[in-house]
Every structure is written in C-alpha cells, then in structure tokens.
Structure 1
C-alpha cells in the first residue's frame, strides 16, 4: 500500500501526515469540514479562541459519531430480529 505525505491545515496550523493513499481524500475532506465548523462557531457564537472552537468541533463530531453508532446498532438489531423470524418461518415450513 502506497503511503503519501500530506499536510492538513486546521485552525491555522499545519499538520504533516503520512497516510495510506486510499485515505488521503477522506482526511482532506474531514480537514475542510473542521475548518468550516471552526468558522461557523467563531461567527455564530462569538468565539475568539481557536481552542474553544476546536473543543466545540470535537464535541459536535463526537456527538455525531455517537448518534450514527447508536442508529447502526439499532438497525443491526432490527435486521437480526428479522433474519431470526425468517429462519423460524423457514424451519416451520420444513416440518
């Protein structure tokens, strides 16, 4: 797997990273999302300190990740229940 050296800028700081080439696009996209979020927090909430904006970004991204994980868990459980129900129906048909 090819590793690429890229630089991501967040809150005015450059972060050089060595990343697998298949992750480069995702990292750049997330870096831009963070930059956009920082600008939104700074303009909408009178945030003057970049650290406060970064903390708010971390909180928002963490919350979003938790919501997605919870939704995925619910979907997996619902699918598992459906499959178990179908298995019972198939077993009943075989008898």
Structure 2
C-alpha cells in the first residue's frame, strides 16, 4: 500500500505525517475542526494558552465520542430487546 506525506497545521504548529492516501480527507477535516474549535474557545473564553485550548478541545471531542458510543450501545440494546420480544411472541 502506498503512503502519502502531508503537513497538517493544528494550533499554529505544523505536523508532518505519513498516511494512507484514503485517510487524507479525514485527517484534514479533523485538523480543520480542531482549529475551528480552538478559535471558538479563544473568542468565547479568556483562555489564551495553546496547551489549555488543545486540552479543552480534546475533552470536548472525547466526550462526543463517548456519547456516540453510548448511543450506539443503547440502539443495539433496543434492537436486542425487540428481537427477544419478537421471539417470545
């Protein structure tokens, strides 16, 4: 499989990455989202330290991932309960 070398800017720092070409769009969108969130935090709060901004951004996205996982688990539980209910009938 081929690899692609790109540079991604996150929080005013450039990170060189070697990735699979099919991942480039996702990585660039993720970096854009991170930078947009950092900008929003800078505009809405008195936080200026980049490490604090990155930590808060990480916390927000980790929370979203956990909520999404719980939602998937809940949906699977509902499907399982429906299957059991249908089997009992």
TM-score (norm 1): 0.86
Q: Distance in 1 between matches of 2:60 and 2:53?
A: 11
Q: Distance in 2 between matches of 1:23 and 1:71?
A: 25
Measured after TM superposition, the shift of residue 84 of structure 1 is: 2.5
Structure 2: state its 5+ residue gaps: none
Question: What is the number of equivalent residue pairs in this alignment?
Answer: 89
The C-alpha deviation readout for 1:55-76, integer Å capped at 9, x for no partner, is 1101100111111011110001
Q: Distance in 2 between matches of 1:75 and 1:55?
A: 30
| Rg larger in structure | 1
Query: Does residue 47 of the first structure (1) align with residue 69 of the second (2)?
Result: no
Q: Distance in 2 between matches of 1:18 and 1:27?
A: 11
Q: Give the structure 2 partner of residue 65 of structure 1.
A: 65
The C-alpha deviation readout for 1:24-83, integer Å capped at 9, x for no partner, is 111100000000000000110011111110011011001111110111100011111212
Identify the range of structure 1 (80-89 vs 42-51) with the bigger mean alpha-carbon deviation.
Answer: 80-89
| Dislocated runs of 4+, deviation >4 Å | none
Query: Does residue 13 of the first structure (1) align with residue 44 of the second (2)?
Result: no
